[in-house]
Structure 1
Amino acid sequence: MVQVTLSGTIQQAAGGISTLEIEAKNIRQLLNALEKLCPALKPELEKGGIAVAINGTIYRDDWFQPIPEDSEVFLIPRLAGG
């Protein structure tokens, strides 16, 4: 199980839930499980505005990045710059 912390607009879309424990071996499994647990997050997940931080390292599009057991995972809104 990994501990997942939601922040910003992601937390708002999840109805204010800030932390969850999810069984997932990679980022794709994590996002799929999260969508099942919190269906209101589907639009946020589909628009690709989420970055995933695993134990302090941010991953943006590496959906098959392994998540080690007992990892600390943060889902954060992506920031656009220009």
Structure 2
Amino acid sequence: MVEVHLWSGLRSLAGGCEVVSVEARDTGEMLRALVRAHPELQAPIDAGVSVAIDGRVIASGLTEPIPEGAEVYLMQRLRGG
């Protein structure tokens, strides 16, 4: 079980939840499980989100393993320059 902490802008799309628990072994499974649990998250996930595992923003795509007990955050992708 992975506890995913949602960035404030995503919480309203998950019924106001700050943390959502899903079954997942890697980042791709986690995102798919989040959408199954909260379909409203599909649009921002499709638009691009950032996943941080234990304080490290994952840039390697959807296959990054999530270690048991990891601290996981889902954030809207930051834009700007």
TM-score, normalising length: structure 1? 0.89
Q: Distance in 2 between matches of 1:11 and 1:60?
A: 23
The gaps in structure 1 that reach 5 residues or longer are: none
| Number of aligned positions between the proteins | 81
Q: Aligned residue for 1:57?
A: 56
Q: By how many angstroms is 1:60 displaced?
A: 3.9
Kindly report which structure 2 residues correspond to 1:26-65, keeping only aligned pairs within 5 A, or say none: 26-48=26-48, 50-60=49-59, 62-65=61-64
Q: Distance in 2 between matches of 1:60 and 1:41?
A: 20
Deviating 4+ runs (over 6 angstroms)? none
Q: By how many angstroms is 1:8 displaced?
A: 2.2
Tell me the C-alpha RMSD between the 2 structures: 1.3
Instruction: Check conservation: 2:28, 2:62, Cα contact below 8 A.
Output: yes
Instruction: Check conservation: 1:9, 1:77, Cα contact below 8 A.
Output: yes
Q: By how many angstroms is 1:61 displaced?
A: 5.0
TM-score, normalising length: structure 2? 0.90
SS in 2 for 1:28: helix
Q: Distance in 1 between matches of 2:59 and 2:27?
A: 10
The gaps in structure 2 that reach 5 residues or longer are: none
Q: Aligned residue for 1:2?
A: 2
Q: Aligned residue for 2:15?
A: 15
Q: By how many angstroms is 1:17 displaced?
A: 1.0
Q: Distance in 1 between matches of 2:78 and 2:54?
A: 19
